[in-house]
Amino acid sequence: MSSSRVLESDADVKDLLEADGMPRKELNQEVFLSGLGQYLRNFLREAFKTVIRNELTVFLGRGPYERSEEDKGNYRNGSYRRSLDTEFGELKEIEVARDRDGEFEPEVLDRYRRRQKKIDRAVIALFVGGISTRRVKKVMKMLIGKGYSAGTVSNINKQLTEEMKKWLESPLADDVRYIFLDGLNLPVRRFTVSKESLLMAIGVTVAGHRKVLGVQLGSRESAASWREFLKGLKARGLCGKELRLGVMDGLAGLETAFEEAYPRAKTQRCVVHKLRNVAAKLPRSIQKKCLDGLKRVFHAASEAKARVNWLRWKAKWEKIAPGAVGCVEKDLEALLSFYQFPKSQWAGLRTTNRIERAFKEFRRRTRAMDSFPNEECCLRCVYALSKELDERWEERRLCGFSTMKPTAETAKPRCVVANEEERKVPA
């Protein structure tokens, strides 16, 4: 049956199914859609064949069997066949006309492309979404009737490499008011599999929008690694003109490197991490009572009230748990920096939850992989997730951060309520 025939009745559909090697049966939704899919693939195959022949006619300047006075000796030279994976399934044996001199290239069918770009994007989205290469093969088999090997999936993902490199070197607008810094250990294979530190910076702009500023993979978290990372951010344009606060954990060398790079900005130590550090220095029998008192320091109505609560807490626990008190006292000023900013922003500034949530999502997406085969693969996955986060955050302004004066006119986006996860501290 010709693929160009119009299907006017159930009998036509059944005849079409029988002609395509499928048993004649009662018509239902699944039978109809299956037959329609094959009908569309046959139609597309014929459409490609016709359009390519017409393109060759235009290229040569004459139709089949015609000759012209300006004939330069180039003629039609039969055809060859190739396949193309599309959103409608695999189009097999597409007839591609060719010329004798090999100069003709059809515009509707790229010479070296074997898959529709939409298919590649779907494979990348599945892989970045946390689906293993084995599962990707099964999913694509169900969707288009053809699965891809782990090697093919890996090659498809390599298309992100150039985008990733451009993103890592792209200029940054110097409109960041707050910056969140943290590191995540990931298993990366070089000669052997070892844990390497992914350094990440997320900024909140003066307009109240979040964005991933940059990432860097290094062997370990140290002052030298953070110094190099922050130097890279400055080289890309983040000079710190609007920067007022850096929020971070007590990672080795980070606070020193940040103060060297941005001396005008204050530092804020994450109170959640500090509460966990204090908990580790307390007997389980007094943890809850002691931590409840310490939380009043970080959830006071003002900085003055917080300092009063601190003195009371210190006086009560200094003799009972001197290690816990000393742990807080040595970083007290950095733990209270957030009080110097608008009250509506305190919940979002006293912890690194904004960057921890990104790390949590990244761990979930990469759980299917035991380790990254190389640094490039790791950074590709980080880039894809960062791009997804930026797109999600682009039209969302954080509640409480709208009091900052924007650098440019922006449309009023949807507001997101800041989450106060720092109130939950495990015993």
Q: For 220-252, what is each residue's pLDDT tens digit?
A: 667 888 999 999 999 999 999 999 999 998 876
Average pLDDT over residues 360-366: 82
Count of Cβ atoms closer than 10 Å to residue 391 Cβ: 9
Average pLDDT over residues 345-350: 94
Whole-angstrom distance, CA of residue 187 vs CA of residue 195: 4
Buried-exposed string 105-120: b where 16+ CB fall within 10 A, e elsewhere: ebeebeeeeebbeebb
Residue 5, both tokens: 């025939």
More confident residue, 405 or 217: 217
Confidence grade of residue 63 (pLDDT, cut at 50, 70, 90): confident
Instruction: Out of 22-26, 141-145, 263-267, give the one with best mean pLDDT.
Output: 263-267
Residue 397, both tokens: 């302004």
Confidence grade of residue 385 (pLDDT, cut at 50, 70, 90): confident
Please state whether 318 falls in left (phi above 0), alpha (psi between -120 and 50) or beta.
Answer: alpha
Whole-angstrom distance, CA of residue 126 vs CA of residue 25: 35
Q: Going along 206-311, which residue ranges are E strands?
A: 210-218, 245-248, 266-269
More confident residue, 131 or 291: 291
Say what percent of the chain tops pLDDT 90. Answer: 36
More confident residue, 335 or 154: 335
The pLDDT score that the predictor gives to residue 326 is 95
Is residue 173 within 8 Å of residue 164, measured between CB atoms? no
Is residue 270 within 8 Å of residue 257, measured between CB atoms? no
Task: Kindly write down the DSSP assignment for every residue of 173-217, as one continuous string.
Answer: -S-EEEEEEEEEEEEEESSSEEEEEEEEEEEEETTS-EEEEEEEE
The pLDDT score that the predictor gives to residue 333 is 95
Whole-angstrom distance, CA of residue 213 vs CA of residue 385: 13
**The pLDDT of residue 424 is above 60:** no
**The pLDDT of residue 91 is above 80:** yes
Whole-angstrom distance, CA of residue 137 vs CA of residue 153: 8
The CA-CA-CA angle for residues 309, 311, 313, to 5°, reads 65
Q: Residue type at 110?
A: D
**The pLDDT of residue 322 is above 80:** yes
Buried-exposed string 336-365: b where 16+ CB fall within 10 A, e elsewhere: bbbbebeeebbbbbbbbbbbbebbeebeeb
pLDDT tens sequence across 34-52: 777 777 888 888 888 889 8
Is residue 133 within 8 Å of residue 154, measured between CB atoms? yes
Mean pLDDT of the chain: 83
Residue 137, both tokens: 């093969």
Query: What's the whole-model pTM score?
Result: 0.72
For the chain, the distance separating the N- and C-terminal CA atoms, rounded to the nearest angstrom, is 72
Comparing 116-130, 159-173, 270-284, the range with the smallest average pLDDT is 116-130
The CA-CA-CA angle for residues 368, 371, 377, to 5°, reads 95
Nearest by Cα to 297 from 345, 326, 332, 348:
332
More confident residue, 130 or 336: 336
Buried-exposed string 40-77: b where 16+ CB fall within 10 A, e elsewhere: ebbebbeebbeebbebbeebbeeeeeeeeeeeeeeebe
Average pLDDT over residues 358-364: 86
Q: What share of the chain is helix, strand, coil (3-state, %, to 5)?
A: 50, 15, 35
The pLDDT score that the predictor gives to residue 32 is 72
Count of Cβ atoms closer than 10 Å to residue 392 Cβ: 11
The pLDDT score that the predictor gives to residue 1 is 46
